[in-house]
Amino acid sequence: MRGVEMCGRYALYGPASRIREQFDLDDGFDFEPRYNIAPTMKALVVHPGQHGERVASTYRWGLVPSWAKDVTIGARLINARSETVAEKPAFRAAFRRWRCIVPANGFYEWKAVPDAGRTVKQPYFIRPKDASDLFGFAGLTERWVSPAGDEVHTCCIITTDANPVLMPIHDRMPVILRASDYGAWLDPDNADVRGLRALLRPAVDDGMIAYKVCRAVNSSRGDSSTFVEAV
């Protein structure tokens, strides 16, 4: 799994009251606990509302730039590298104008391990040490309009170098914003590219833990609370 972006799987099971509190949301939002969110599925994102307030909406995971011919490109744009997000044509407009936060209780990563004479992918779940806390991944959004006039709202997650917790498992991780940086990241009038890029750093390692979980999560078709339990 080395040399690729984050595996592309995470969990958001709330509770809704905690999501609302941590991300300072006033209005209600659609939410159901999900333990195995995969690319092209619906993802809850926090973004600026019309009047500057924070709102939460469900967007399709996999960014589709406004200039794309069709939505299939989104399956390849689930992540944006922090090192190049401000310059890459697929991401640079969204980085300057349509930033979001993707709430998560934790995310999965895989490590190749020997097992009975063969190599298997062992999943790990990475979450805050305080199980009541949430991660806020730095993300981007886009609005794509089909030839028929249908709107599709999409998102992606920005990645960075792994911190010491992740290094034994994978060399990349999602950018986890500090709560004190939520305002600067979400501010649509914030055009300070250098300052925004400075927020895209590896998270401090003392606030998170990683542990092995069941291999049933290897399939994107399953969804169970047991997926986030240590084995």
Helix, strand, coil % in the chain, rounded to nearest 5 = 20, 35, 45
CA angle 79, 85, 86 (to 5 degrees): 160
pLDDT tops 70 at residue 186 = yes
Q: Band the pLDDT of 152: cuts 50, 70, 90.
A: very high
Catalytic residue among 7, 100, 155, 156: 7
Give the residue with greater pLDDT, 222 vs 7.
222
pTM of the model: 0.95
Catalytic residue among 109, 142, 155, 156: 109
The token pair at 7 is 């595996």
pLDDT (0 to 100) of residue 138? 98
| pLDDT tens-place string over residues 44-103 | 999 999 888 999 999 999 999 999 999 999 999 999 999 999 999 999 999 999 999 999
Burial class (CB in 10 A: 0-12, 13-18, 19+), 89: exposed
Q: Are the C-beta atoms of residues 39 and 77 closer than 8 Å to each other?
A: no
- Tell me, yes or no, if 7 is annotated catalytic: yes
- Tell me, yes or no, if 87 is annotated catalytic: no
